[in-house]
Structure 1
Amino acid sequence: MNNLNKYILSIAAAASLAVSGCTKNFEDFNKNPYGASNDDLLPDYGLVVGQLKEAQRSIYVYQPAWVTQLQQNLMGDVFGGYMMTPTPFSGNSNNTNYDLVDGWNLYALNPAYSSPEASVMAPLWNVQQITKTAAPDLYAMSKILQVEAMHRVSDIFGPIMYSKYKIRSEDGGYDYDSQQEAYNNFFKDLNEAITILTPLRAKKSTPTFTNADMVYGGSYEKWLQFGNSLRLRLALRIVKADAAKAKTEGEAALAIADGLLSKADDNFSVNIGATIHPLNTISGAWEDIRMGAPMESILKGYNDPRLPKYFLPAEDSMVLKEFKGIRNGIDIDAKTRYQKYSGLVTLPSKLQLMTAAEAWFLKAEAAARGWNGAGSAKDNYESGISTSFDQYNLNANATSYINDAVSTPAPYIDPKSVTPGQNDVKAGDPWLSTITIKWDDGDSFEKKLERIITQKWICIFPDGQEAWSEFRRTGYPKLFPVVINNSGGKISTTVFVRRINIPPDEYLTNPKGVERALKTLKGPDNGGTRLWWDVQ
């Protein structure tokens, strides 16, 4: 990967020297990054537009690609079952087999606050100070972006600096919201944004709003639908932790007529112009990521026509022209062993963060739970599949796929395992699902949930962060546990990794704040401790 391997191997040791923690020099990097006062920003909001765009570009950092690799690819994309690296980083003891690398995981935190590559909270905070009364539409956009970015961070670490952002505590530190507090504030912020956008939905947006919008070209209607769909996503995220709150927020989202994303063209995807999608670099130029074994098992087993839309046939002589994935957490002696397994297809220059198909599956689960306004679980489920197929121009295949009551995920065989048979998953193994595709109203709730989440998991590819979150919340789809567990007992092989520990830089730069944050966790600050919403 053009010396990136050496860089990553050294980053853990050098993190405290090369990168400041997100609370180090906190006041400095939370000043307006453009060096302008509020008065400077008022005439045409030109710099507000720049800050809104910075935030959109920072939710999923796409440049440089090595930041994406650390922020999400060697974390959520792997933990969510989508992908696996053929590269034995750090002597094959790294995130993929639960030896969590602090120097890597720092990049899931820093871009949210400030780093040389990206920032979310700083520019959005600046925008909100200026636009709350003067330009409510821009304020609403900033709130939705803030929730979309920061729920992803909270779903990695748990407690985050959110409602208390920029407020120094009496001991000089900066305080975190517990995850429960953060989620309550997410709902508050989304409600505020939705309330602003609802009366604007049929109106033409201002030129400033249009200029700031890297997703929908200035459509108030689409931003309202995205914010509302996000509200439904987060409502279901907390359903096991606070069922009453989840139902209240979910039904509020469902109560808005035509209030959710519904067509493939509605996908929330940040347009990055001529810039190459970072996964194209990581998979193509660097050959550092390949299909995950669960993807092979599920898509092959279902004869899913989206398989060649996601991945390329393998180039390895032992599996030539097959679609072949790598199992997570296995013995990898050299990159060359799995380097030619299935890479990713070339992705467009758009960062997909929510699909309309997902919104249909959210609605399907809400219906299965009996929430008001959700409609028919069966109809929503089938619409989710059809919408995903439409996204990939596979409409002609949708009906037969929806009605397939026989196909199930396929066994996984690794012909190149260092220890023959060690990586295989056979029929009858507890990790191999037997769930079929066709909806059956007579099934138990749990079987309906597995069916919904398995199809949702397929359709939200390649957003591994969201896939990992949903797997932790529901246990679906069934994924394969690691073969090698290098966590030293901190993370259970059979329970999987549940979160990422707060990076050591935070302990150094904000010790009192971190100390208070840790008291909100269910256990020690490691990868085996469940998040607030992650209830067994």
Structure 2
Amino acid sequence: MKSRRYTALVAIAIMMLGSSCVKKFGEINKNPYGFGEDDLQADFQLMGEPLSQAQLNLLIYNDPPTAQLQQNLNADVFSGYMMSPTPFEGNINNTNYGLLYYWNNKPWTVTYGNVMKTCDFAQQKAKGHYSDFYAWAQILKVEAMHRISDIYGPIIYTHYGHINNEQGVDFDSQEEAYTAFFKDLNEAIDTLTACINRNDEQRFQHFDLVYNGDYRKWVKFANTLRLRLAIRISTVNKDKARYEGEMALAHPLGLLEAYQENFTVNIAPVTHPLNIMCYTWADLRMSAPMESILTGYNDPRLPYYFVPTDGAATYHGIRNGIAIAAKEEYSGFSQLVRFPNKIQFMTAAESWFLKAEAALYGWANAGNAATNYEKGISTSFAQYQIPNVTEYTNNSTSRPRPYIDPQNEVNNVLAGSPHLSTITIKWEEGASLEKKLERIITQKWIAMFPEGQEAWSEFRRTGYPRLFPVVINNSGNTIPQGTFIRRLPMPQIEQTTNPRALERAIRTLKDDDDGGTRLWWDRK
């Protein structure tokens, strides 16, 4: 693939972009080359190659140990999707809320060093000359940085690259960051829409690892991302949420609709990092909530997500935050399937579930909640070429099953537990708004697998699907027993490189900088 065959020049450019020191953010504005740029303008490599790298490092594609800390041992586990059989650090680690600062730096450092910096570089080169590349960088920045804000809260976004003398690089509160996200998405959507309407040449093709240079699909993705973020803030700022959501819903190019439009980054020929974690290291297995929900619903997506235990027709998941003396205790539980060399960040099914929730709130152009809900399920089924969706959507009796740990009954979740959902699949028009929301989010959670970051965010925002709290809680009472982690503490690297600004940022949390503090939008 052309975008992966770097010339020596581009390799030097990326190396120059690799520095992660916050105090050097401003240096990105300098020309890193010792000669003119005219030779590279014709094929747009100055902007295109950095944006290829930005896509590849939304989840670092070629470094599984880093990817494991970037997302897997936080969001993938916290979302209820996966669990590790490995008792890392004497079984005091993130999976049981013994949060490790040297793990929790990774989402921040990878994203700033490999995505934010490359997007900013591309924007500096594109500004005033190549509006389409500038808009593309805006969309990628929002996709990357809303994930970081949804992990920590305050982030460096609008002040990126601007050092305030001895005060450091200022953070945006999460509310300020979201305001900036909407602004950037609106500008990018307008720019690319204008390019489409003028029938401009589409110039991303050699660098775009998601949509092969199709501007229409990028606009549809940006609209769907805008709706995602609007729904995210619908509890804390209803008016702003409605405005942004209705703007996305009213756009003439629409949202993602079919599974062929899923936002997946092509990392070929590199294998998916989850494959390494699961099969090479045996550090990853099915979660207990996945076993409970998918087997309880007799969900036909189950064999497309996980492998039966020991070749049998049964599936076993591991409950989060349990006593594990040795990996061998639980390594025989269900593995994940082997994923193709594409990393998924948004599905078209999610788009339909977003519309279903928007319809619950009466937003203009959202359509009918029941129709959107069923379309979300059918779009997810189509993604895996599964027939007979009607039988599934008409199922009004199946519920998540109690969870039985064959290794240790202390970990069981029995019938009648408040943590065991009783929600069924079939839409009930006469149900309460809360029951309708639980139904939507439970199916949305199933359909978004294995994208744990978004699943964790949606669980925190809504409380759905019902997950099982950790058995062993090593948070030191910062996360109350029986509750769930809300965020990661601010990365310690900022304490070293940007301490004064970090102190101000922590004050915007309005509570302690720990895993029990809720984010701005997490107020239900």
Please say whether Structure 1 and Structure 2 have the same fold, judged by a TM-score greater than 0.5. Answer: yes
Where does 1:491-506 land on structure 2 (aligned, <5 Å)? 491-506=479-494
CA apart distance, 1:260: 0.2
Does residue 464 of structure 1 match 2:486?
A: no
Q: Deviations over 1:183-214 (max 9, x none)?
A: 00000000000101223346766363111211
Cα distance in structure 2, aligned partners of 1:378 and 1:310: 26
Change (3 A) 1:230 1:207: closer
CA apart distance, 1:132: 3.0
Contact 2:23–2:163 (8 Å) recurs in 1: no
CA apart distance, 1:370: 0.7
Change (3 A) 1:103 1:383: same
Contact 1:211–1:218 (8 Å) recurs in 2: yes
Change (3 A) 1:356 1:90: same
1:145 aligned counterpart, secondary structure: helix
Cα distance in structure 2, aligned partners of 1:397 and 1:457: 20
2:65 maps to a residue whose letter is: W
* Structure 2 residues without counterparts, runs of 5 or longer: 1-17
Match of 2:397 among 386, 390, 406: 406
Contact 1:205–1:218 (8 Å) recurs in 2: no
Where does 1:142-161 land on structure 2 (aligned, <5 Å)? 142-161=137-156
Partner of 2:136: 141
Cα distance in structure 2, aligned partners of 1:356 and 1:448: 20
Partner of 2:465: 477
1:415 maps to a residue whose letter is: P
Q: Deviations over 1:222-266 (max 9, x none)?
A: 000000000000000011111110000000001113410000101
1:75 aligned counterpart, secondary structure: helix
For normalisation by structure 1, the TM-score amounts to 0.92
Match of 1:443 among 431, 450, 453: 431
Does residue 363 of structure 1 match 2:358?
A: no
Does residue 521 of structure 1 match 2:509?
A: yes
Cα distance in structure 1, aligned partners of 2:404 and 2:489: 33
2:343 aligned counterpart, secondary structure: strand
1:491 maps to a residue whose letter is: I
Q: Deviations over 1:380-433 (max 9, x none)?
A: 000000000000000x2211001101111111000112xxx1100011000000
2:165 aligned counterpart, secondary structure: coil
Partner of 2:4: none
Change (3 A) 1:350 1:36: farther
1:270 aligned counterpart, secondary structure: strand
Partner of 2:345: 353
Match of 1:454 among 426, 439, 442: 442
2:291 aligned counterpart, secondary structure: helix
2:374 maps to a residue whose letter is: E
1:289 maps to a residue whose letter is: L
Partner of 1:390: 382
Partner of 2:287: 292
1:315 aligned counterpart, secondary structure: helix
Change (3 A) 1:277 1:128: same
Where does 1:200-349 land on structure 2 (aligned, <5 Å)? 200-201=195-196, 206=201, 208-315=203-310, 320-349=312-341
> Cα RMSD over matched residues?
1.8
* Structure 1 residues without counterparts, runs of 5 or longer: 1-18
Change (3 A) 1:137 1:456: same
Cα distance in structure 1, aligned partners of 2:41 and 2:31: 14
Cα distance in structure 2, aligned partners of 1:189 and 1:213: 20
Bigger mean CA offset, 128-137 vs 423-432 = 128-137
Contact 2:219–2:253 (8 Å) recurs in 1: no
2:265 aligned counterpart, secondary structure: strand
Contact 1:21–1:506 (8 Å) recurs in 2: no
CA apart distance, 1:503: 1.9
1:353 aligned counterpart, secondary structure: strand
CA apart distance, 1:127: 1.2
1:422 aligned counterpart, secondary structure: helix
1:437 maps to a residue whose letter is: I
CA apart distance, 1:77: 0.3
Match of 2:417 among 390, 413, 429: 429
Contact 1:106–1:503 (8 Å) recurs in 2: yes
Cα distance in structure 2, aligned partners of 1:26 and 1:184: 22
Where does 1:81-100 land on structure 2 (aligned, <5 Å)? 81-100=80-99
1:443 maps to a residue whose letter is: A
Cα distance in structure 2, aligned partners of 1:22 and 1:204: 42
Does residue 129 of structure 1 match 2:124?
A: yes
2:43 maps to a residue whose letter is: D
Contact 2:26–2:162 (8 Å) recurs in 1: no
Contact 2:23–2:168 (8 Å) recurs in 1: no
Contact 2:294–2:400 (8 Å) recurs in 1: yes
Change (3 A) 1:230 1:37: farther
Contact 1:84–1:292 (8 Å) recurs in 2: yes
1:143 aligned counterpart, secondary structure: helix
Does residue 176 of structure 1 match 2:167?
A: no
Contact 2:111–2:144 (8 Å) recurs in 1: yes
> Identity over the aligned pairs, expressed in percent?
56
Cα distance in structure 1, aligned partners of 2:237 and 2:66: 34
What is the total number of aligned residue pairs between the two structures? 507
Cα distance in structure 1, aligned partners of 2:35 and 2:229: 35
Contact 2:28–2:161 (8 Å) recurs in 1: no
